[in-house]
Every structure is written in C-alpha cells, then in structure tokens.
Structure 1
C-alpha cells in the first residue's frame, strides 16, 4: 500500500493477443503501474495449436516465424503504451499452452497482479469470459483483474 492506503503493485502482467479486451487491459495495467512506479510485463503466448495445419519442418518453421512476428507486434504495442506514460515494460513472446505459460510466468517473475481481457481473439462468442481467462482464474493465487 502507498501512503494514501491504495494498493500498489511493482510487477503487473498483461497477457496480450492484440484483442480489444487486451488493449483495454493494457490501459488499466499502465494506469496502475504509473501510480505505483512499477513495471508492466507484456506476454504473448504462441499457441501452435491455433496455427494452420503444417506438414513439413519448413512449414512449421515458417508458421513459428509468422506467429513470433505477430506476437512481437502485440507486446511492442503494450510497450509503446507504457513508454507513453513513462512506465517500465518487459516484453516476452513464448510458445506453449497460453494458460500454462501465463501461470508459469506469474510464478517465475513474482507477478503481483494480472490484468487481462475477459475474452481474447479466439473466444469472440463466449458469453462472459473466455477459456484462457477462466483457466487462469482457476489456478492463480495472485489477484487477476478481468477487463
């Protein structure tokens, strides 16, 4: 807590997939960290299961390269927003199962708060929250702000 009694966070994670919900989560995370002087961590997880079917090693390599580039663009957008507010930002692109990688990152980096969209790009028709958000909420023991 700071001197006003507000909770402050040193390390806030924003998992991003470039969706509108992730962009709103970015805004809130940057605002929280601006107040506390902490760091925003932007994480994109390449879910190779979402890639088009690939049959050859060169296809797999090209798909990975394309997903890495897309993911880097997403985390760079978070960094650009953080830079506008004078907030430190760490960017990470990983491969794996999104909810598993998010949970691992939170534990490895001592993240104090996760701010994430209620639905991502792959969950546009879900009524309340998307599958990745739901799975993360069920596992983490740190606060998760769903935007």
Structure 2
C-alpha cells in the first residue's frame, strides 16, 4: 500500500511519536521512510547552527529507523515549512505523510501546528497526524505573539507586526496584527497552539 513515507521532524515529542508511527508503517509495508527537517525562514539565528541542529535531529530519526531495519533517507532543507514539505513529497513521489500536530515550544509549535493543518489541507496524498498527550498551555503574551506572527508568515504575509496587546476571549487568544497593508485577527488555541487567521475588512 505504501512505498515511500515522509515524516517531517523538529526534535519535539510529537515528531518523535510521528517517527515511531512512520517506522511501524514502513516495517509493515516494507516501505522507505524519508526524514525531513526544514530550517524555517521564520526562525532567527545563525544559519549554520540552525542547519547543524536540523542535521542532528534528522540523524537521530534516521538512526532509529535503521535500528529497526527500515530503509531510510534523511534530508535537511530550508524555506517555508509547509511549502517545502509539500514540494518534497511531490519531488520524491511520497504516498503517505506522517507528522506531529505540534512542534517543540513557541514558534516551534506553529512550525508543526498550523503547518500540519496546512499540509493536511493541500496534500494530494494521505496525511497521518500524530498527537501526543500533555500539550503545554500557552499562557504568555510573548509566546502567543510569536505563534501569531509565524502563522501569518506561513500564510504568505510579509512585514508582520502586532498592533494591539493580545487578549484572551473565551477559549482562544486573539492577536491583532498588520501585514502587507492588511489587518488580521489571529486566533490561537491556548491548549494546542492551533491557529486561524481572519482578514479584517475596513469599514466603508
């Protein structure tokens, strides 16, 4: 049924769970696992260090698959995570994507949070989303701002800025932000980090 399985990784607990699922499926179907780490354009830091960190994360997943006797390929690339994951799947003729629903913390959660949602929406092959228990609640303005900005960047926005202090309403954070001469409300789930973006139309 499956010959080539893609699992994006960032080193978080949910991506480790996704790797385990991918290995189990590959073992069952005698498939090859492709482990991919994307050095996101959203992250700030030394490019060489980010790439080295990504290689370490990828090598760890490759080693786990090898120990189980599963054929595995590891790659590190850069770009917008959802675009690169979908592009890589197309380039390698992947027939199943397995990924965690969230990343590590802060922006990292979004990289495999809203990204997972975007990949699931646009993928032409099946996507298996792996959720781990015990997700950390988002309780700081700084973290929710990082998540909201990253969500807008992943939607293709540039020059993102937060224009008002984030606030809690019922079971969501709401972040007002501006980008590309438009205004948005970004809703962030405090329990999961999942986001939804709504454009605010100016009053006539």
TM-score of the alignment, normalized to the shorter chain, above 0.5: yes
Q: Distance in 2 between matches of 1:99 and 1:88?
A: 24
Correspondent of 1:31 among 24, 30, 37: 24
In the TM superposition, residue 48 of structure 1 has moved relative to its aligned partner by 3.0
TM-score if structure 2 supplies the norm length?
0.60
2:96 aligns with one of 93, 113, 132: 113
1:43 paired residue number: 36
Deviations 1:70-91 (A, max 9, x none): 0001111110110111001111
Total equivalences in the alignment: 127
* d(CA) in 1 for partners of 2:109, 2:124: 27
Q: Is residue 97 from structure 1 mapped to residue 80 from structure 2 by the alignment?
A: yes
Looking at CA atoms only, which structure, 1 or 2, has the larger radius of gyration? 2
> Are 1:123 and 1:131, in contact at CA under 8 Å, matched by a contact in 2?
no
Residue in 1 that maps onto 2:117: 134
Q: Which residue of 2 aligns with 1:18?
A: 11
Separation in structure 2 between the aligned mates of residue 49 and residue 83 of structure 1, nearest angstrom? 31
- Answer whether contact 1:48 1:64 (CA < 8 A) is retained: no
Aligned residue number for residue 85 of structure 1: 68
Which runs of 4 or more aligned residues in structure 1 lie more than 6 Å from their structure 2 counterparts after TM superposition? none
Q: Which runs of 5+ in 2 are unaligned?
A: 131-204
- Flag the structure with higher helix content: 1
Aligned pair in 2 of structure 1 residues 95, 123: CA closer, same or farther (>3 Å)? closer
Q: What is the SS of the residue equivalent to 2:50?
A: helix
| Greater relative contact order (CA < 8 Å, ≥ 6 in sequence) | 1
| 2:178 alignment counterpart | none
Q: Distance in 2 between matches of 1:118 and 1:40?
A: 19
**In the superposition, relative to structure 1, how do residues 93 and 124 fare at CA in structure 2: closer, same or farther (>3 Å)?**
closer
**Structure with greater strand percent:** 2
TM-score by length of 1: 0.82
Structure 1 runs not aligned, ≥5 long: 1-7, 53-62
